[in-house]
Amino acid sequence: MIRDSAPLVLGIETSCDETGVGIVRGHTLLADAIASSVDQHARFGGVVPEVASRAHLEAMTATVDRALAEAGVALRDVDAFAVTAGPGLPGALMVGVAAAKAYALALGKPLYGVNHLAAHVCVDQLEHGPLPKPCVALLVSGGHSSLLLVPDVASDVRSLGGTVDDAAGEAFDKVARVLDLGFPGGPVIDRMARDGDPAAIPFPRGKYNDGTYDFSFSGLKTAVARWVEARERAGEPVPVADVSASFQEAVVDVLTRKALKVCKDNGVRDLLIGGGVAANSRLRALAAERCEAAGVRLRVPRPKLCTDNGAMVAALGAELVASGLAPSGLDVPADSSLPIQTVAL
Ligand code: KG4
Ligand code: ZN
């Protein structure tokens, strides 16, 4: 039940290359403003931390103003501020945390320093309503590939597994570089793969049957690079669509297999997928297929809520307020390696 009296929460996200400012009231999304510095990183083939920090600084107040205008509210109407305190790039996080402190201090409102990964989970409440307790979350982004058991997103998030090397999104970005497809790699590989055969090349599926909830994508990435190099050495054209489709299939096959294993082993019937890679059309389709076969309900936020944004931070802030958790205080640090179990600082 959404009440007009639920607190108005403004969330700030600056952990990587998106300056995100979201405004929510309870589970209702009122604004989701984004300024991305992705174009400034493209020629480097990856996010350059110093460039990202500078871009956050330049975009911050304008993005806050844009979010307020979109929501039709004034800064003084905001009841609480939330900010990503970690994990993420240290300098980039510091810009958001400093800005959130300044707003909270100037307006005399509470401040919540929150975990970026828990925010990726919580954002789904804005689209699909309250999260089932417990649920399993598969978080796949440029920095993380995690399997979480979530009894309560405001207070109890447990890590069951993660990548031992590259994150899933990182593998997409590196393979896109090998194929000269630009940065970020995920969206363009997703597009190219639509015209390719996912069974054309049997790329390896790391840790497929090892009994753990961990992932490994670095062997796959290397296998793709070797395969492409061999074609080039032989003077043969590289079938970009088939390589994209076969690589993508290897990633999503192992992601969905392990996510459903966590559900089965823990008797959980709800799976949520979040993070930038959750925007992948094949991951969404295969997860839907396998969840249905296993009798598991699947929740995936719309693509704009999957990639980094401020709404997810506001959503988690609102959840913390609703749970009656104490705010963080103005000395809250930016912690680049904040562990997932720490939902709020
Ligand atoms: O969550 P996110 O926006 O930022 C991080 O916290 O990292 O995720 C960005 C990652 C990038 O690696 C990007 O290539 C990947 O998400 N990504 C995708 C797709 N859209 C974005 N990967 C696969 N398919 C997509 N459609
Ligand atoms: Zn993220």
Q: Cα of 141 to ligand 2 centre, how many Å?
A: 6
Give the pLDDT band of residue 344 (cuts 50, 70, 90).
very high
Report d(CA 126, CA 283) in Å as an integer.
21
Mutate to test the pocket of ligand 1, among 172, 273, 284, 308 (most ligand atoms within 8 A of CB): 172
Average the pLDDT over 283-291 and give the result: 98
Domains and CATH numbers, the chain: 8-123+309-322 (3.30.420.40), 130-305 (3.30.420.40)
229-259, pLDDT tens digit by residue? 999 999 999 999 999 999 999 999 999 999 9
pTM greater than the 0.75 cutoff: yes
For residue 95, give Cα distances in angstroms to 17, 53, 60, 273, 328. Answer: 12, 7, 8, 28, 17
Q: Cα of 307 to ligand 2 centre, how many Å?
A: 6
Which among 112, 157, 114 has a CA at the least distance from the CA of 139? 157
For residue 138, give Cα distances in angstroms to 35, 276, 292. Answer: 26, 11, 17
Residues 6+ apart with CB under 8 A from 151: 133, 134, 158
State yes or no: pLDDT of 24 exceeds 70. yes
Average pLDDT, the chain: 95
Going by the DSSP 8-state scheme, the letter that residue 277 receives in this structure is G
In ligand 1, the atom with minimum distance to the C-alpha of 176 is 14
State yes or no: pLDDT of 3 exceeds 90. no
State yes or no: pLDDT of 15 exceeds 50. yes
Residue located nearest, by CA, to atom 23 of ligand 1? 186
pLDDT at 38: 84
Nearest ligand to the CA of 166 is 1
Q: Which 3 state secondary structure label does DSSP give 18?
A: strand
State yes or no: pLDDT of 127 exceeds 90. yes
